[in-house]
């Protein structure tokens, strides 16, 4: 079963975690988000637990709380979303041609090189 796309708050929390140098506590995530919007600490904690339940975060004990870190990089998540969206197209070939036509020339060149080299797996 495909995972649902993240909502606005989930995306904001994931962006904080993706930008962090390591795992963060709910308090650290709350502090980072408070610079942009007013959120209750419990709201941030709820979002973190939901993301953990969905399998997007790892949870490690840290004192009386937990620290959270993403299980996928931002780029890996983006690629999986692109695959899910492509999978929903009735005509995948047409969807791909629209996608490629929207790429910048430098991006098309990079994509062509990736396809020709078989470099598709960044691992």
The CATH code of the domain that includes 45 is: 1.10.10.10
Same-domain status, 20 and 64: yes
Rounded distance, CA 7 to CA 3, Å? 12
13 and 44 together in one domain: yes
Extract the residue ranges of the chain whose pLDDT is less than 70: 1-5, 120-123
- For residue 10, the model assigns a pLDDT of 95
Residue 3 lies in a domain: no
Instruction: Determine the structural domain holding residue 25 and report its residue range.
Output: 8-70
Residue 14, CA atoms < 13 Å, CB-side half-sphere? 23
Does residue 1 belong to any structural domain of this protein? Answer: no
Q: 123 in a domain, yes or no?
A: no
**What's residue 119's pLDDT?**
72
Claim to verify: residue 55 and residue 105 sit in the same structural domain: no
Q: Are 79 and 87 in contact (CB under 8 A)?
A: no
Whether pTM exceeds 0.85: no
Domain count, the chain: 2
Are 47 and 95 in a shared domain? no
Tokens of 51: 């993301």
């Amino acid at each position: 079963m495909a995972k649902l796309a993240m909502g606005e708050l989930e995306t904001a929390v994931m962006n904080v975690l993706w930008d962090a140098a390591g795992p963060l506590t709910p308090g650290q995530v709350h502090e980072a988000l408070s610079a942009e919007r007013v959120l209750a600490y419990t709201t941030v904690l709820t979002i973190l637990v939901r993301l953990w339940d969905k399998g997007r975060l790892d949870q490690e004990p840290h004192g009386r709380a937990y620290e959270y870190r993403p299980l996928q990089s931002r780029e890996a998540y983006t690629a999986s979303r692109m695959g899910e969206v492509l999978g929903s197209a009735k005509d995948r070939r047409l969807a791909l041609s629209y996608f490629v036509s929207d790429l910048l020339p430098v991006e098309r060149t990079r994509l062509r090189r990736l396809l020709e080299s078989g470099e598709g797996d960044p691992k």
